[in-house]
Chain A
């Protein structure tokens, strides 16, 4: 250390902390940084894991509940000819935050381009959940058909998926003879293990880049600040 911060002109003593950048013992500094990076890595990996676990839970719930309401037939336009029943308005809404894995994969895709499968899966799951709630209401009312179904997307904050779905339930209409959840057909299958591996590799890369950046800042920026402080003192 070339000089104490007390040598600084009156009113600029607070700039003394800039002189301390890079002054600590190299081994201590590195171990502190690596410790910090490992903690950050573990924290992010835990969040990714919780997110993936929540996704799996939603998928299991969806499959179980859709099977219970599969007898309700859902149409976007008019019901099939000959359908009878008392019309009743049914509506459902849902607001979901994307899984952290989806956010990370979107970041990667924005760099290299291509189809963002995780985000597509998040959106599909949100719409299916909204439709499932609509089916559930129809079941509770004793309706076999929901016709004129429409989605309305709502802007409720950046990155959130908010949907409002409405339709007309026909109370007393005959349920489907061969129950099938048509909206589940063609849904993206989960490939979470592969995505988790990619995401963890990405995190490790980011951590390595952070350590390297710290070294560069310490070496070059630290010296820059010291030269600047010395100039003030002169």
Chain B
């Protein structure tokens, strides 16, 4: 499946718009990670545990959005955006949304 943040993916032509699809997830790290992040916060720098948390949340939200698009019979999702809601310290909600479409290769642009 073609995933793109652009409205019209380069090299393809949209032949059918199927509608908005979305996938979301809320994830949190365990207490041990929270404590380690708290210690790292004293000196500053990247909180790798939380970066992993975001990566996992993003992957999961994208997979759910992709699955919704597959159910609709789409072969591409365009105009993909990510959103979030503030759940609280140490937990994150990631929402992925886009437009499920059917595309065909466009020799004119590729």
Which residues, 68 to 90 on B, are CB-close (under 8 Å) to A? 80-90
The answer to whether A94 touches B11 (Cβ under 8 A) is no
The answer to whether A97 touches B5 (Cβ under 8 A) is no
The answer to whether A168 touches B6 (Cβ under 8 A) is yes
Which residues, 157 to 209 on A, are CB-close (under 8 Å) to B? 157-160, 162, 164, 166-168, 170
Q: Does A39 contact B (CB under 8 A)?
A: no
* Set A50, A94, A155, A167: member contacting B5, Cβ < 8 A: A167
What is the CB-to-nearest-CB distance from A60 to chain B, in angstroms, rounded to a whole number? 14
A99 to B41, CA, bound (A): 8
Q: Does A36 contact B (CB under 8 A)?
A: no
Q: Which residues of B contact A157 (CB under 8 A)?
A: 50, 88-90
A156 to B94, CA, bound (A): 11
Q: Does A100 contact B (CB under 8 A)?
A: yes
What is the CB-to-nearest-CB distance from B50 to chain A, in angstroms, rounded to a whole number? 4
The answer to whether B54 touches A164 (Cβ under 8 A) is yes
What is the CB-to-nearest-CB distance from A11 to chain B, in angstroms, rounded to a whole number? 39
* Set A55, A99, A154: member contacting B54, Cβ < 8 A: A154
Q: Which residues of A contact B91 (CB under 8 A)?
A: 156
Q: Which residues of A contact B86 (CB under 8 A)?
A: 155
Q: Does B9 contact A (CB under 8 A)?
A: yes
Q: Does A47 contact B (CB under 8 A)?
A: yes
Q: Which residues of B contact A97 (CB under 8 A)?
A: 37, 40-41, 44-47
- Determine the interface band of chain B, counting residues with CB < 8 A from chain A: 35 or more
The answer to whether B4 touches A148 (Cβ under 8 A) is yes
The answer to whether A154 touches B92 (Cβ under 8 A) is yes
Q: Which residues of A contact B47 (CB under 8 A)?
A: 95-97, 160
Nearest chain-A residue to B3 (Cβ)? Answer: A89
The answer to whether B4 touches A164 (Cβ under 8 A) is no
The answer to whether B44 touches A100 (Cβ under 8 A) is yes
The answer to whether A87 touches B6 (Cβ under 8 A) is yes
Q: Which residues of A contact B41 (CB under 8 A)?
A: 97, 159-160
Q: Does B18 contact A (CB under 8 A)?
A: no
Q: Which residues of A contact B62 (CB under 8 A)?
A: 89, 91
Nearest chain-B residue to A75 (Cβ)? Answer: B6
Q: Which residues of B contact A51 (CB under 8 A)?
A: 43-45
The answer to whether A84 touches B51 (Cβ under 8 A) is no
The answer to whether A83 touches B10 (Cβ under 8 A) is yes
Q: Does B104 contact A (CB under 8 A)?
A: no
Nearest chain-B residue to A93 (Cβ)? Answer: B54
A167 to B51, CA, bound (A): 18
A25 to B3, CA, bound (A): 75
With A87-B2, A154-B92 as given contacts, are A94 and B51 in contact (CB-CB < 8 Å)? yes
Q: Does A150 contact B (CB under 8 A)?
A: yes
A192 to B50, CA, bound (A): 27
Q: Does A58 contact B (CB under 8 A)?
A: yes
Please list the residues of chain B having a beta carbon within 8 angstroms of any beta carbon in chain A.
2-12, 37, 40-47, 50-51, 53-55, 58, 62, 80-92, 94, 109-110
Which A-B residue pairs are the 8 nearest by beta carbons? A155-B86, A148-B5, A89-B3, A99-B44, A93-B54, A95-B50, A157-B89, A97-B41
